[in-house]
Amino acid sequence: MTTTSVPEFQHRTVLLDEAVDALDLKGERANGIYIDGTFGRGGHSRLILSRLGPEARLIAFDKDLQAIANAETIGDARFTIVHDSFATMADALAERGIPAVDGILLDLGISSPQVDDAARGFSFRNDGPLDMRMDTTRGISAAEWLATESEKTLEKVIRDYGEERFAFQIAKAIVARRAVEPISSTRQLAGIVAGAVKTREKGKDPATRTFQAIRIFVNKELEDLESALSQAFDALKPGGILAIISFHSLEDRMVKQFLASKAKVEQPDRRLPIKAADLPQPELKLLSRIKPSDKEVEENPRARSAVMRVAMRLPAPGGAQ
C-alpha cells in the first residue's frame, strides 16, 4: 500500500493511562485480543502493546492515511492496522477468524495533527483547502458538499450536528455566497459564518459549531459510532471491557444511552408468576465515568471536553455465550 509521509505535528493522547488501565491488562487478560478503534498517532496502541503478553493480539483501525503510515512503523507481530473505520470491526474480525475479543477502546476524538495541519481543512484557525475528510481517498470533501447541498439540508446538518442556534442564518449565507464564488477555503467559510452569527459564547469562535457539524457529517461520524457500538458489544467476550472516550455532547449522549440500554432491563410486573431465573438480566455492567485531571487539562487544553465511559460485558444467563 502506498503511504504518505508523516508530518511533524505534536499530538498528546487524552486519558492515555486511564484508558489503558480500564482494559485491565493483567493476568490471563494480558494474552487476550484487543481492539484500538482509532489508532491516531498510536499513543493508546503503543501503551497497550507494552503491557500485553507474547500471545496477545491488538487490532487497530484508522481512516487517516497519515495515521496508517505511522502505524506501519510499529514492528510488532502482535499488532495489525486496518485502513478503515472502526465501524468495520465485525468484518475485520470475521476475516481473521476471531469470534470475540477481551477489550475494545474507542477514542472518538480527532488527532492534533489533523487539526493543526492547515492542508486538512479541519480548522478555521489556519487557512487551507476546505476538505475535512479523515480519509482523503474516499467520499466528497466539505467544499464539494457545500457547493451542491440544498439550503434546507445545510441548515439541518449545522443545527443537528453542531447544535448551532443560528443554523438558518448560516445556511442562508452559505447559499448566497456560493452563488457568487466557490467556497473552497477554511478562511472563506469561517468568514461567512462570522458574518451570519451575531452573538457567540465568550471565548468561542463563531465558526466552531459549524466546522464541527460539517466534519461530523462529511465523515459520517455518528453513523459510524452507532454501528460500532452494536458491533463492539457483539464482539466482546463475557468479562470483556468496552472503554469509549467522547469529546462532544452528541457522541457522549449516544454512548451513554447505548450503555444504559444494555445495563438496565425492564422488570416485569411483580404480580406475575415468573421465576427469578427467568427474569431479564442486564448485559453490561457500568464500571466508571472518567474525566481528565486538572493537570492534564492544564497541559493539554484539548482534553477539557473529554469523558470516558467504561463498561464490562456480563455473562449470559445460564452461562450461555
**CATH classification at residue 204:** 1.10.150.170
One domain for residues 207 and 289: no
**pLDDT for residue 174:** 98
43 labeled part of a ligand binding site? yes
One domain for residues 34 and 67: yes
248 labeled part of a ligand binding site? no
One domain for residues 193 and 230: no
**pLDDT for residue 5:** 38
Report if residue 104 sits inside a domain. yes
Task: For residue 185, give the C-alpha cell.
Answer: 477555503
66 labeled part of a ligand binding site? no
Report if residue 129 sits inside a domain. no
Residue where a domain terminates, one of 193, 218, 243: 218
Residue with cell 467522547: 246
**pLDDT for residue 7:** 41
Report if residue 307 sits inside a domain. yes
**CATH classification at residue 269:** 3.40.50.150
Q: Residue 155 and residue 4: Cα distance in Å, rounded?
A: 35
| pTM for this predicted structure | 0.88
Residue where a domain terminates, one of 200, 218, 236: 218
> pLDDT in tens for each of the 321 residues of the chain?
333 333 444 567 999 999 999 999 999 999 999 999 999 989 999 999 999 999 999 999 999 998 999 999 999 999 999 999 999 999 999 999 999 999 999 999 876 556 556 556 567 677 899 999 999 888 999 999 999 999 999 999 999 999 999 999 999 999 999 999 999 999 999 999 999 997 777 768 899 999 999 999 999 999 999 999 999 999 999 999 999 999 999 999 999 999 999 998 665 556 565 655 556 689 999 999 999 999 999 998 889 999 999 999 999 875 544
258 labeled part of a ligand binding site? no
List Cα–Cα distances, 214 to 161, 255, 283, 304, in angstroms.
8, 21, 35, 22
Q: Residue 101 and residue 98: Cα distance in Å, rounded?
A: 7
64 labeled part of a ligand binding site? no
Report if residue 82 sits inside a domain. yes
Residue where a domain terminates, one of 166, 186, 218: 218
Report if residue 301 sits inside a domain. yes
**In which domain, by residue range, is 262 found?**
16-112+221-315
One domain for residues 165 and 212: yes
**pLDDT for residue 9:** 46
61 and 35 Cβ atoms separated by less than 8 Å: yes
Number of domains in the chain: 2
One domain for residues 87 and 146: no
127 labeled part of a ligand binding site? no
List Cα–Cα distances, 217 to 86, 166, 167, 220, 261, in angstroms.
16, 18, 14, 5, 25
One domain for residues 101 and 231: yes
The amino acid at residue 286 is: L
9 labeled part of a ligand binding site? no
